[in-house]
Amino acid sequence: MGRTVAFVLSGCGVKDGSEIHEAVSALIALDRAGYSVIFTAPDVQQASTVDHSTQEPERHPRNALKEGARIARGNIRPLSELDRDDYDAVVFPGGFGAALTLCSFAADGPGCRVNPEVEKLIGDALRDGKPIAAMCIAPVIIARTVPGARVTVGNDPKTARAIETMGAVHVECSVDEAVVDPERKIVTTPAYMLAEGPAQVYAGAVRMVQKLDGLF
């Protein structure tokens, strides 16, 4: 039987939720490698909502789970209902929702808080020896919750400094590569922190999944 990934979404859209190109690239890479996916998200209001056609904030709230269902084609489960026996690995696509709703890095920087359900998921995966992968800005969640973790966001100096301030280790990485922390079974790739288009995002996603495979 193939392995199953808990695929953690934060909404739908780069400015306030999960980045769609990154999510789809990761999903295709996982599918081609033989993984099954459980889509999941915290059933919470997004920390911010943005009209992506104007880049302006919106007043009406959106729910991270309901918005993530757009990417999941409706088949999504609340993170609170996910059992630790349901999955073999965890994957976080990027998008500002990772830094707004899954954690508060966008507002609070290195002093950010992580959503308790997300923090539990990461803790359970670490204790069970299950690999975790994260793309783009999502590695800041790992940096905040996993002391000493080796992660990458590419080469952005401000974010790299914040990651180091949180007690993790930042490793510079090209857009089509991924950084592995073999001790903690963590893989990260820069995606749109560096990418100039979806082809580069996909190349990084493929490399991320290849290195994820190597951690089992």
Active-site residue set: 136
CA 168 to centroid of chain Cα atoms: 16
* Pairwise CA distance, residues 216 & 206, whole Å: 16
* Pairwise CA distance, residues 75 & 188, whole Å: 26
- The encoded tokens of residue 20 equal 């769609």
Beta carbons within 8 Å of 9's beta carbon, 6+ residues apart: 17, 18, 23, 39, 40, 41, 64, 67, 68, 71, 72, 76, 93, 97
Measured from the Cβ of residue 164, the count of other Cβ atoms closer than 10 Å reads: 13
Beta carbons within 8 Å of 70's beta carbon, 6+ residues apart: 12
* Pairwise CA distance, residues 8 & 126, whole Å: 16
94 near 191, Cβ under 8 Å? yes
Neighbour-count burial of 174, counting CB atoms closer than 10 A to its CB (0-12 exposed, 13-18 middle, 19+ buried) = middle
* Pairwise CA distance, residues 72 & 85, whole Å: 21
